[in-house]
Amino acid sequence: MRNKNNYDEQLARIMNGLADSVLDLSDSELLAELQEEGVDPQVEAERTKNVLRAASKAYRKRKLEEAQRTYEKRVAEMRAKSYELPSSPSKQRELLAAVIAVRPDLQSALFTAHRDFRELSDADVESFLKQLKELGVLDTLKLPEL
């Protein structure tokens, strides 16, 4: 690990030195140096822009991919976990209706994709109840026995 840190420090010093030497050049000196090396400044500018864009996109995408992995892990954990819920879909629907009656503010959070409670599939109802159970909402509400 120490050798890697030492290598990284050396590389950083070299790159900073190169950057400083380029910064010290005037525009005409820089163009002359590029032409001596047979480099087209326009092509090099476009390549540099593309490298910077790609690095920026990769950085932003890394956070998104990390969030996706965390989400998938939590969903897998929830699927593997068993929840104490009513066994029949009709009783589950009744429970969800009771939750909404006690906490109407949850309706907009739960039903963003569905406007009508009756449109929910049995799987959606069960999923919502599992999520509420996972969040502890079902444990804190005083709901009627079903």
| Residues 81-106, mean pLDDT to the nearest whole number | 88
Is 111 domain-assigned? Answer: yes
Domain count within the chain: 3
The mean pLDDT value for 47-69 works out to: 92
- On whether both 131 and 92 belong to a single domain, the answer is yes
How confident is residue 58, by pLDDT bands cut at 50, 70 and 90?
very high
pLDDT band at 73 (very low <50, low <70, confident <90, very high): very high
Q: Do the Cβ atoms of 85 and 130 come closer than 8 Å?
A: yes
DSSP conformational letter for 92 = H
What is the model's pLDDT at position 82? 87
- % of the chain surpassing 90 pLDDT: 22
Picking from 88, 107, 90, 91, the residue whose alpha carbon sits closest to that of residue 144 is: 91
Residue 126 lies in a domain: yes
Q: CA-CA distances (angstroms) from residue 59 to 88, 94, 142?
A: 46, 46, 46
Answer yes or no: do 135 and 92 share one domain. Answer: yes
- Whether residues 27 and 5 share a domain: the answer is yes
Q: Is the pLDDT assigned to residue 107 strictly greater than 90?
A: no
Residues 134 and 90 reside in one and the same domain: yes
Closest among 2, 25, 146 to 86, alpha carbons compared: 146
